Structure 1
Amino acid sequence: MSAVTPTTRIPFLNLPEQHQALRQEIQDAIHPLLDGARFVGGETVTTFEQKFGAAHDCDHTVGLKSGTAALFLAMQALDIGPGDEVIVPAFTFIATAAPVMLLGATPIFVDVDPVFACIDPNAVEDAITEKTKLIVAVHLYGHPAAIDELVSLGNRHNLPVLEDCAQSHLSTWNGKKTGSFGVAGTFSFYPSKNLGAAGDAGAMTCSDEAFAQKVRQLSNHGRTGRYDHAFVGWNERLDALQAAVLTVKLGHLEAWTEERRTAAERYNRLLSNVTPFGSSLVLPTEHPDARHVYHLYVIRHPERERLHTALADAGIDTGTHYPTTLPAQSAFAEVPKRHSLPQAEAWAQECLALPLFPGITEEQQTYVAKVLGEL
């Protein structure tokens, strides 16, 4: 590789630039809350819930403290507990499976598909037993899982499907938004997400009013009145300051999503014939029935660590999502390993996420491709 010296570092994500452009809008949204000391619940939270639900084709949205809280409370509302089995993909973030364990149930890890890294419906069907109570579909990296097939499979076995949409804001399958197919959808608004808060936040979407009400009560100490509690719940409400920030950002989400898609298409062109260290890159693709929102632009290469090091030396930030499967984590050491996971293990060994964010420039992407092309 010839020496290349970048004029500036290329970040993996550029939130400071995004927030600078929105500074006045965000200040205008939060100042009334500060002036009126309206921090918990209220009209600001309700407004965000309504707008987010409308944007995702869902009748009901419950704002929550995090995506993890959304997963936990949705599972609790489905009465997941000891003796139950929940089918989850082996290749995802720990938050997908952790609530299963916390509720006393057993996560059953299954393989993912080789193209999109999403849960494999065939592997799901093979894993169903009389103890199975739930299927969790993760729309990984911003690409939908085969959600209609999974819901159909669930219906045949009388099993609900919970959608983990932490990375799939505005993603669609056959024109319908993720989060609107299963019994519920759970969303994360962690700052790095396509729609990110100024801290932790999340939401659950669904079409059933009673289910939404149960999750809302679970998130608010089981409350039915100011000092009336139908059951013991938690404190997992979305606060008004985060809702205000999210409402501002939601107004820009579609434009940001199109910028991500444009940047991904540019990478695909620039990297199509690149062969670092003598091996071709496997580039992300989009199913004809899907709208990929590219939360992450993830390539695959047999020498992932060498790529990471070389790009870092050239001033280019990258990410590894994820370097290990969940069954290989110490947290799940006692969970039975029933199924082989060749695709999940291959993804964990080879995946590398390149810088991609709204506002990334053609010059920056060309430089990334140049560095990769010279390896």
Structure 2
Amino acid sequence: MSNPELAINGGPKAAEGLPNRFHFGKEEKAAADALFDQSIATGNAIGYNGPEEEAFGKEFAEYLGGGYADGVNAGTNSVYVALKSLQLPPFSEVIVGCVTDPGGMMPIVELNCIPVPADTEPGSFNAGAAQIEERITERTSAIVVAHIGGEPADMPGILKVAEKYNLPVVEDCAQSHMALINGRKAGSFGTVSGFSLMFGKHMCVGGQGGVVFTKSEDQYWKVRRAADRGKPFNLPGHTNVLSAINCNMDEFHAAIGRVQLKKLPGIVERRLKFVQMMIDRGFDKLASIYLPQKDLRDGFQSCYWWWRIRFVQENMKCTREEFCDALAAEGIKIMANYRAALPATQEWFQNRADKHPWNNPLYKGDANAVYATPNCDKVMATDMVFFINESYGEVEADKIMAAFKKVTDAFAK
């Protein structure tokens, strides 16, 4: 890294002053103020399961093409509630993609089931249909499919596998708001789906939040019961019908969510426009990188929660880590890898054999099973996470392109 022009060596930054998202505006403030004004005027506290949450659920379901939605208090709990609503047999196995936030895998354990990591498709962070089918046993009770980074997983292929083995599918859409498969939104394919609405996602309801969606009314009532201590929703004459925790979203977050949902199409549209701006500037022609989105199936559209880009080592004299360090010094927000999203490599999973539920005699599988993920290993060795946001426009595209070109030229063979 001897090039004096690089910022990491004391040179000027190429991409200084990139803007933040400006996620909230006057509309969200007005929605929150209206609830406070109402509370102050009536003397009643801001609660939950009220008109704002009911409206938010209906509007979110309409956004997904029709069905039923229930707001919850976190994205992790959206997966938990979705799985809880399926009433899976204890100590059964649930197949889940090996690349996922820990919150996409840990709810399986909290429901006394066994997470079984499936490998990714070649060249992808998403689990594939063939890789999922390889993990199916007589103990399998469900499949969890995450759309990582905004890139949609192969839902048509995965649903064929699920139908073959009569397995429910939970879509984990924490990172895929408005990702499309042939014009149909991610989250509208599975038996039930969970979305994260925390502050870093395309849309949010505040610091934390989530929503669970299903096309089935019967499944919806199971979701409602699973999200609120087993209350007998739609079961007149009953008391609480199952043991469950309180995962409710409150009225305050629902009101913010209603505003954000209206903004979501514009947020995603601006991200897609920025991606095109970069390509128009020759981003995909740089010797240092390859854009894996070129390999998505026809009709599959990423919504770019972040932009996955592949480091082309054979064209460069530096390592991927050195490349990212140099870009970061130029002002680019980038991670050299996504290993933080490999929960099966973390201590809680690696040290599982003597812990519940793996050590329970009712589990008939191998608590020490080794789950090989060669496709994932390969893509983790090359792919980087490039953070973008909807505030980026032509000026930012110029700066970012200049930074990537500067670092590429400095280390190109």
Settle same-fold status: TM greater than 0.5.
yes
Give CA-to-partner distance per residue, 1:163-211, whole Å, 9 cap, x none: 1111111222122221111111110001111112211000110011121
User: Could you tell me which residue of structure 2 aligns to residue 327 of structure 1?
Assistant: 344
1:47-73 superposed Cα distances (whole Å, 9 cap, x missing partner): 111111100123100110111111111
- Partners of 1:282 and 1:139 in 2: how far apart? 17
Aligned partner of 1:76 in structure 2 is 84
CA separation of 1:336/1:100 partners in 2, compared to 1, >3 Å: closer, same or farther?
farther
Equivalent residue, structure 2, for 1:31: 33
Q: Displacement of 1:353 after TM fit?
A: 2.1
Can you list the C-alpha shifts for 1:201-258, whole angstroms capped at 9, x where unaligned? 0011001112111121121121238994223221110111111111111111111111
Question: Structure 1 residues 317-326 or 146-155, which shifts more?
Answer: 317-326
Mapped partners of 1:366, 1:115: distance in 2: 29
> Which amino acid counterpart does residue 292 of structure 1 have in structure 2?
S
- Residue equivalent to 1:295: 305
Contact 2:14-2:402 at 8 Å conserved across structures:
no
| Match runs of 1:1-375 below 5 Å | 1=3, 2=5, 3-6=11-14, 8-10=16-18, 14-15=20-21, 17-19=22-24, 22=25, 24-35=26-37, 36=39, 37-224=45-232, 228-269=239-280, 270-276=282-288, 280-285=289-294, 286-301=296-311, 302=313, 303-319=319-335, 322-324=338-340, 325-333=342-350, 334=352, 336-375=368-407
**Structure 1 pair 268/337, CA: closer, same or farther in 2 (3 Å)?**
farther
| Inter-partner Cα distance in structure 2 for 1:361 and 1:176 | 27
Task: Report the Cα distance in structure 1 between the residues aligned to 2:85 and 2:149, rounded to whole angstroms.
Answer: 27
**Which stretch of the first structure deviates more once superposed, 164-173 or 262-271?**
262-271
Shift of 1:337: 4.1
Q: In structure 2, what residue type is equivalent to 1:99?
A: P
The amino acid of 1:364's aligned partner reads E
Note if contact 2:173-2:193 (Cα within 8 Å) is conserved in structure 1. Answer: yes
SS at match of 2:141: strand
Distance across 2 between alignment mates of 1:374 and 1:283: 22
Hey, what's the Cα distance between the residues in 1 that align with 2:273 and 2:172? 25
Q: Mean Cα displacement is larger for which, 328-337 or 288-297?
A: 328-337
Once the two structures are superposed, what CA deviation does each residue of 1:65-107 show, in whole Å capped at 9, x if it has no partner? 1111111111122123432111111112111111111112111
SS at match of 1:18: coil
Contact 1:116–1:284 under 8 Å retained in 2: no
Distance 1:157 1:283 in 2: 31
Gaps of 5+ in 2: 6-10, 40-44, 314-318, 353-366, 408-413
Distance (Å, rounded) in 2 between the aligned partners of 1:229 and 1:94: 30
Q: Which has the larger radius of gyration?
A: 2
Q: Distance in 2 between matches of 1:176 and 1:284?
A: 18
Structure 1: distance between partners of 2:291 and 2:272: 17
Conserved? CA contact 2:15–2:402, under 8 Å = no
Residues 77 and 210 in structure 2, CA contact (< 8 A), matched pair in contact too: yes
The answer to whether the 8 Å contact 1:268/1:283 transfers is no
Distance 1:320 1:275 in 2: 17
Q: Which amino acid aligns with 1:348?
A: M
Change (3 A) 1:102 1:18: closer
Please report how far the alpha carbon of residue 343 of structure 1 lies from its aligned counterpart in structure 2 after TM superposition: 1.9
Q: Deviations over 1:24-54 (max 9, x none)?
A: 2112211221122333221111111111110
How many residue pairs end up in the alignment? 366
CA-to-aligned-CA distance 1:130-160 (integer Å, 9 cap, x gap): 0011111111111211101111111111111
Runs (5+) with no aligned partner, structure 1: none
The question of whether the paired residues in 2 share the 8 Å contact of 1:74 and 1:204 is answered with yes
2:285 match: secondary structure: coil
CA–CA distance in 1 between the matches of 2:292 and 2:215?
A: 35
Separation in structure 1 between the aligned mates of residue 62 and residue 178 of structure 2, nearest angstrom: 11
* Percent identity over paired residues: 24
Distance in 1 (alpha carbons) for counterparts of 2:250 and 2:199: 15
Greater shift in the superposed pair: 220-229 or 61-70? 220-229
Contact 1:9 1:316 in 2 (8 A): no
